[in-house]
């Protein structure tokens, strides 16, 4: 078990707005909230990397760019270019979606090459890399095989979901990924995490990063529980 302060828990959060109709005002609010609550990252569509980096200049809040989002149906070259473009525009974390057509075809060499291209680009820039599996569309064997490939390639994180498909993160998937991926690769849970209980359950299952848009309500709910209990930390 580990002891978490409220700030420790906030530092697990990728505060997210990936809606295609997000306005500049929405993104400004997202960045203001991340700064106020000391979330680890704002996660946005890659075209918004420079705008959010400018808003967060002088803070330690990271800018995360979603690549090949949400379908993953672009070429390796396209994803690699989008990754480098986002990094050059101020992103320092990358969340990319695997090509599920190639996963379903068991074209594991392609999947490995794609993952390596993104991870190498991130490593060159000193950036965090996250591989989105989209578990709701995968079999157990496919999830495990992706974990095995990630163990070879060593992204910073493997991630459960985009939050834009038929399902999101589950405790069972987080446990499965934590069990089957190399211990040096972390697990990110995202999609459908809307309450304090959701976040805490994912952390207990092994997640070391949480992607959510309900971040404010979640962190305020946890803060309220701490106040009621007269504690300044919790054990998970």
pLDDT tens string, the chain, 236 residues long: the values are 899 999 999 999 999 999 999 999 999 999 999 999 999 999 999 999 999 999 999 999 999 999 999 999 999 999 999 999 999 999 999 999 999 999 999 999 999 999 999 999 999 999 999 999 999 999 999 999 999 999 999 999 999 999 999 999 999 999 999 999 999 999 999 999 999 999 999 999 999 999 999 999 999 999 999 999 999 999 99
Domain annotation for the chain: domains and CATH numbers: 3-235 (3.20.20.70)
Please, which residues bridge with residue 64 across strands? 43, 93
**Cα 3 to Cα 9: distance, rounded to the nearest angstrom:** 10
Q: How many CB atoms lie within 10 A of CB 227?
A: 11
Among 40, 130, 143, 159, the active-site one is 159
**Cα 17 to Cα 9: distance, rounded to the nearest angstrom:** 19
Contact (Cβ atoms closer than 8 angstroms) between residue 17 and residue 30 = yes
Task: Tell me if residue 159 is catalytic.
Answer: yes
Among 95, 173, 186, 198, the active-site one is 95
Residues 6+ apart with CB under 8 A from 48: 22, 27, 65
The sign of the dihedral angle between the CA atoms of 193, 179, 111, 121 is positive
Q: What is the pLDDT of residue 197?
A: 98
Q: What is the pLDDT of residue 1?
A: 87
* Burial tier of 164 (Cβ tally within 10 Å: 0-12, 13-18, 19+): middle
Task: Tell me if residue 95 is catalytic.
Answer: yes
Contact (Cβ atoms closer than 8 angstroms) between residue 91 and residue 119 = no
**Cα 52 to Cα 33: distance, rounded to the nearest angstrom:** 12
């Amino acid at each position: 078990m580990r002891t978490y302060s409220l700030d420790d828990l906030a530092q697990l959060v990728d505060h997210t707005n990936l809606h295609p109709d997000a306005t500049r005002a929405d993104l400004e609010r997202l960045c203001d909230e991340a700064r106020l609550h000391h979330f680890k990252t704002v996660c946005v569509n890659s075209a918004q990397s420079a705008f959010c980096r400018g808003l967060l200049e002088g803070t330690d809040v990271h800018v995360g760019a979603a690549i090949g989002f949400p379908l993953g149906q672009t070429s390796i070259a396209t994803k690699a270019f989008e990754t480098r473009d986002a990094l050059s525009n101020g992103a320092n974390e990358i969340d990319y979606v695997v090509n599920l057509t190639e996963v379903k075809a068991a074209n594991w060499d392609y999947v490995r090459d794609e993952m390596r291209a993104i991870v190498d680009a991130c490593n060159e820039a000193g950036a965090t890399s996250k591989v989105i599996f989209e578990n709701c569309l995968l079999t157990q064997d496919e999830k495990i095989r992706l974990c095995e490939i990630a163990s070879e390639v060593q992204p910073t994180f493997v991630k459960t979901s985009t939050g834009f498909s038929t399902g999101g993160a589950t405790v069972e998937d987080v446990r499965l990924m934590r069990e089957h991926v190399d211990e040096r690769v972390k697990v990110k849970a995202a999609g459908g995490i809307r309450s304090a209980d959701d976040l805490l359950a994912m952390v207990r299952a092994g997640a070391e990063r949480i992607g959510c848009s309900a971040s404010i309500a979640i962190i305020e709910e946890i803060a309220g529980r701490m106040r009621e209990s007269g504690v300044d930390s919790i054990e998970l």
